[in-house]
Every structure is written in C-alpha cells, then in structure tokens.
C-alpha cells in the first residue's frame, strides 16, 4: 500500500536553516511533522523529514505486513492526526465503520488497512510528502560560529535550528546463540529481515517453528498457519494482556507522578517502566486466532527452547532443551531487535554534541521538553521521540500514542514550575 511518496531524492539547498529536521519518517516522525504544521503553524518549507525509504511510514507498513498484523493493538483515537476522532470520522465518511473492530472492555481498534489509509489521507491533505527527502543521516554536529546544527547525510549537510531523532526501534535483529554456526543459506529467517515475506508462495513447505512468545510471534504464527504446519515455540506459557501497559500511563499526570519524581538518567526509571510494560504478551483476540488455528490442526504451541541446530539437505535438525529433536524444519525468529540506545547513529550524535547518556545508554532528556541534555546539564536543541524517549514519556513511548505525547511536549511544553525534575543520577553523563 502506498502511504506517501517523497517528492525528491535529495534535500534542496536552502539560503536559511530549517526550523526542524526530523530524522525518521515512521509513525513518530510523520506525526510530529503533522503537529508542527497543523498546531505549530510552521510551514512545510521550514520542516524536513529525512528517511532513506521511498515513502513515509514505509517501514511501519512493511513490518506490519511481515508479521501478519490484521488489526492494531491501539484504539481508534491513536493515529498520526491531531484531532482525536479523525480516524473514526474517516472510517464513517468512507463507509468503513465495520473496520473499527469491537473489543471487549476496550474501545474499538482499527484494521491495519484502515489505519494506513487514514494515515495516507492525512499525509496527502497536509502535503507532508513535500517535507520528506530520501537521505540517510550519518551524524549531527554544531554549525561553526552559529547556534544551528548540521545534519549530515549521504547527500550533504543540512542546517537547522532544531533536530528531532525519531529513529524507531532499530534495525538489528536479536539472534539466539545457536544460530551463529548456521550457513547463510540455512532455512532460518528473522521476521524483521529485509527480505522476509510470509506470503511468498511455496516458501514454507515443511514444518515451521516460530520462535517467540509475544504479539509479533502470535501474529506471525497465525499468518503462516494459513499455508503450512506451524509450531509456536516460546520459553514461557503465553501471557494474555489486552494492552502494552495500563492505560493510566497515557496520562501525563500519571507519568509525572510515577517516573518524573525519580532521578533523570537513573536505572530506577527504566525499572519502573519495564515493570509497567506488558512485554512478550499476546492480546485476547490473537489468542483466539491461535486457538482457531490449533483446532484446525495447522498449529501447535510448544513451551521450550532450541539449544542447537544443524543444517541438512532436508532442512534444519533441531535439538530442544528437553532433549527431543525435530528434523526437516524451518525456523522463523520473532525475537525482537537490539536495544535502541545501541544504534550507531545515537552513539555518533551523543559524541559529536557532548550529549549525556544515562542508564543503559538512554539519552538524558528534559522531561518538560524532551530536549537531550548536554553533559554539563544544559539543554540542547536536539529532541527525541519513540523508544529512545522512554525514560521521560513512559511505557507507551514507542507506541502510536507515544508519538502524539512526544509531539505535544516538543511543540508546547508545560510550564517549568510544574515539571522541575530531580537532579541527574550519578550514572547520567558520559
């Protein structure tokens, strides 16, 4: 599905700096650009979204299709537009209200197609594709003798007053140790591999093991069970949770009480957030899809781990932690991505601009503005949205609603008097 096409492959030369350069054209970057134009009254010529992909939201759409997502876990009020009921109005206006899926004890959720079509409509109406230029950012430095920044790309450097890192969850899959000895042509894939496509005809003739226990693994197992016999292999019993965290965590007042009262840059913040996130869980509607596939004989769930694997002419020979084996197998991993603070760009930007890193390498942010603090505790004009902002935005930071919350803070931060943070943790700077 085409979401929004860039109008140029490279950013044009400009006689004056941009107001905002946004690194990343996913949900977070696109949502912020829309807020800046619609609510902040910036012009399109003052904003640039830098992303190497051909279209805005291309990475999100690709990943959603790779894992077999049919509906979003988020509700219909969570989307990239500024008005809460925009998606609902779009659905009703296009006679697609049936794509707002009823969910017990929860607001309706949109289908993936409805969500993306609404996003495309927002991008077209707000002409956001005119802000998008296909470039990969390699670093951010200070512009000599000025208060501006230089965003360096493969097509040259771009000068701007503000930089926003909206870089997503990263691109490096997490691989179990037993995969390291397998040849490149082994029947092994990761769901987030660039070339992985669950709908490729004839790609899964033998028994396929989907390794993982969260929502991605659940979606993927259901999708693959439509065309082959699947075993969902998880280390633990499947845990059922409707949402990624308690909805109270959407509210800034709750976030301030639970997180902002803890020292910035501290391990305590990360511990609090992780205890609140329902990671590696499956919502009830995915559990029902799994049960239907089990009842039809196309899927089984097995609890355990693969301890070793060898490639043979027939497929993979697998050994499990209970001593049993499987032969002629294929494996698709749904084991997540490497931690977002470990992205090379994050390292380069923090080093180039002397920006503070806290526990586990997360940026030390100003809770009021989401500006990345310098190592001397002063505030830079580099801002963060997405998973990198978790220590300030909370357990929903990486989600769609987190994009809207981050846009609110960056565009219209609250009064300083209401958000004075505790001092930086002793583990803060780098």
- DSSP-assigned letters across all residues of 335-390: --B--GGG-HHHHHHHHHHTB-B-GGG-B-B-TTT-EEEBTTS-EEEEEE-SGGGH
Query: Residue 109: CB partners within 8 Å, gap ≥ 6?
Result: 71, 72, 73, 74, 75, 76, 100, 101, 103
pLDDT surpassing 80 at residue 243: yes
With contact defined as beta carbons under 8 Å apart, do 419 and 260 qualify? yes
Mean pLDDT of 390-407: 98
What pLDDT, on the 0 to 100 scale, is given for residue 109? 98
pLDDT, residue 3, reads 42
Question: 18-171+340-418: which CATH topology?
Answer: FAD/NAD(P)-binding domain (3.50.50)
List pLDDT tens digits, range 89-98: 999 999 999 9
Boundaries of CATH 3.50.50.60 in the chain?
18-171+340-418, 177-241+280-333
More confident residue, 272 or 426: 272
Q: Check if the beta carbon of residue 87 is closer than 8 Å to that of residue 121.
A: no
> For residue 415, what pLDDT is reported?
75
pLDDT at 206 over 80: no
DSSP letter (8 states) at residue 287: H
Average per-residue pLDDT in the chain? 92
Question: Which residues are 133's β-sheet partners?
Answer: 8, 50
CA 296 to CA 274: how far, in whole Å? 36
Maximum average pLDDT range among 105-119, 198-212, 410-424: 105-119
| Residue bearing tokens 């580099």 | 382
How far is Cα 361 from Cα 268, in angstroms, rounded to an integer?
A: 14
User: What is the second-level CATH architecture of the domain 177-241+280-333?
Assistant: 3-Layer(bba) Sandwich (3.50)
pLDDT band, residue 256 (cuts 50/70/90): very high
pTM for the model: 0.92
Residues 50 and 137 sit within 8 Å (Cβ to Cβ): yes
Q: Angle at Cα 252 formed by Cα 161 and Cα 267, nearest 5°?
A: 80
CA distance 400 to 335: 21
Give the span between the Cα atoms of 82 and 39, in whole angstroms: 8
Mean local confidence (pLDDT), 314-320: 97
What beta strand segments (E) does 192-342 contain? 208-211, 230-234, 299-303, 306-312, 315-320, 325-333
């Amino acid at each position: 599905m085409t979401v929004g096409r860039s109008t140029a492959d490279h950013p044009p030369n400009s006689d004056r700096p941009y107001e905002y350069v946004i690194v990343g054209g996913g949900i977070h970057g696109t949502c912020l650009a829309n807020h800046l134009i619609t609510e902040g009254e910036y012009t399109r010529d003052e904003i640039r979204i830098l992303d190497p992909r051909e279209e805005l939201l291309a990475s999100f759409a690709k990943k959603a299709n790779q894992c077999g997502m049919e509906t979003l876990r988020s509700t219909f009020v969570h989307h990239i537009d500024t008005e809460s009921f925009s998606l609902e109005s779009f659905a009703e206006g296009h006679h697609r209200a049936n794509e707002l899926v009823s969910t017990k004890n929860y607001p309706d959720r949109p289908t993936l197609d409805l969500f993306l079509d609404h996003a495309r409509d927002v991008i077209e109406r707000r002409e956001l594709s005119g802000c998008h230029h296909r470039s990969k950012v390699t670093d951010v430095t200070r512009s000599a003798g000025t208060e501006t920044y230089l965003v360096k790309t493969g097509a040259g450097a771009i000068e701007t007053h503000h930089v926003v890192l909206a870089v997503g969850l990263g691109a490096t899959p997490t691989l179990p140790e037993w995969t390291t000895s397998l040849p490149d042509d082994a029947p092994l894939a990761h769901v987030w591999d660039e070339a992985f496509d669950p709908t490729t005809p004839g790609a899964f003739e033998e028994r396929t093991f989907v390794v993982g226990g969260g929502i991605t693994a659940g979606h993927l197992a259901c999708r693959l069970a439509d065309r082959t016999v699947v075993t969902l292999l998880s280390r633990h019993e499947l845990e059922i949770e409707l949402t990624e965290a308690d909805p109270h965590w959407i509210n800034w007042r709750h976030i301030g009480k639970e997180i902002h009262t803890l020292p910035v840059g501290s391990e305590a913040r990360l511990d609090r957030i992780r205890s609140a996130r329902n990671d590696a869980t499956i919502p009830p509607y995915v559990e029902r899809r799994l049960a239907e596939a089990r009842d039809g004989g196309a899927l089984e769930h097995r609890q355990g781990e693969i301890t070793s694997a060898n490639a043979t002419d027939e497929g993979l020979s697998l050994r499990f932690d209970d001593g049993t084996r499987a032969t002629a197998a294929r494996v698709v991993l749904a084991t997540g991505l490497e931690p977002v603070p470990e992205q090379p760009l994050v390292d380069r930007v923090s080093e180039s601009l002397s920006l503070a890193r806290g526990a586990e390498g997360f940026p030390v942010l100003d809770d009021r503005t989401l500006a990345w603090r310098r190592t001397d505790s002063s505030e830079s004009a580099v801002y963060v949205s997405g998973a990198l902002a978790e220590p300030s935005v909370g357990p929903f930071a990486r989600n769609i609603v987190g994009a809207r919350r981050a846009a609110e803070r960056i565009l219209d931060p609250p009064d300083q008097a209401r958000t004075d943070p505790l001092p930086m943790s002793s583990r803060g700077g780098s």
